[in-house]
C-alpha cells in the first residue's frame, strides 16, 4: 500500500494572497473598507455589509484558544504519525476565528483561553500552514 500523504489546501483565486503570505511567514486577513470589520476566511465580499471593497491587512499572529480537541485515535491516514494532535479554533486579537492546530505543547495542559501565537509549518514548496503554539511566559 502506498504511504498516505496529507491533503493540500484547495485554493480559490481570492484566497491566493493568504497562502502567498503564509509561505513568506506572514499571517494576513481581510478587512472591509466599507464597514471596517475584519474577515476570515477569505471571501469575495464582506459577510456583514456585502461590499466587495476588501483589503488584506497584517494580523498580529496573537490570539487565544477559543475551543479545541485532542485527537488521540484515528482511522489509518497520513495524520496517524502526528497523534496526539490538537485541532483548535483560535480567536485572533483582530476578532476573527481560525481553525488550526496547536503545536509545541503538552496536550494534557491545554486550556481554553490559553494565549497562543502563530508559527508556520512548511508542507511543501507551495504551501506553508499557519499553526499556533502557546505563548511562553
Binding site for Zn ion (CB under 5 A): 32, 34-35, 46, 48-49, 51
**Shortest Cβ 21–Zn ion spacing (Å):** 21
**Shortest Cβ 18–Zn ion spacing (Å):** 18
The set of cell numbers assigned to 115 is: 494565549
Task: Kindly state the helix (H) or strand (E) to which residue 66 belongs, with its residue range.
Answer: strand 62-71
Rounded to whole angstroms, the Cα distance separating 9 from 20 reads: 13
Q: CA dist 117 to 20, 60, 68, 100, Å?
A: 19, 8, 15, 12
**Shortest Cβ 109–Zn ion spacing (Å):** 39
Q: Which is nearer to Zn ion, 28 or 88 (CB)?
A: 28
Q: Which is nearer to Zn ion, 31 or 131 (CB)?
A: 31
Q: Which is nearer to Zn ion, 7 or 17 (CB)?
A: 17
Amino acid at each position: 500500500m502506498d504511504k498516505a500523504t496529507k491533503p493540500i489546501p484547495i485554493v480559490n483565486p481570492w484566497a491566493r494572497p493568504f497562502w502567498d503570505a503564509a509561505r513568506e511567514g506572514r499571517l494576513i486577513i481581510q478587512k472591509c473598507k466599507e464597514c471596517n470589520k475584519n474577515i476570515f476566511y477569505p471571501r469575495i465580499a464582506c459577510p456583514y455589509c456585502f461590499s466587495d471593497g476588501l483589503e488584506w491587512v497584517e494580523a498580529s499572529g496573537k490570539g487565544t484558544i477559543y475551543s479545541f480537541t485532542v485527537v488521540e485515535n484515528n482511522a489509518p491516514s497520513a495524520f496517524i504519525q502526528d497523534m496526539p494532535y490538537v485541532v483548535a479554533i483560535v480567536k485572533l486579537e483582530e476578532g476573527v476565528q481560525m481553525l488550526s492546530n496547536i503545536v509545541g505543547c503538552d496536550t494534557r495542559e491545554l486550556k481554553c483561553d490559553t494565549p497562543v501565537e502563530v508559527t508556520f509549518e512548511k508542507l511543501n514548496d507551495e504551501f506553508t500552514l499557519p499553526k499556533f503554539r502557546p505563548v511562553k511566559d
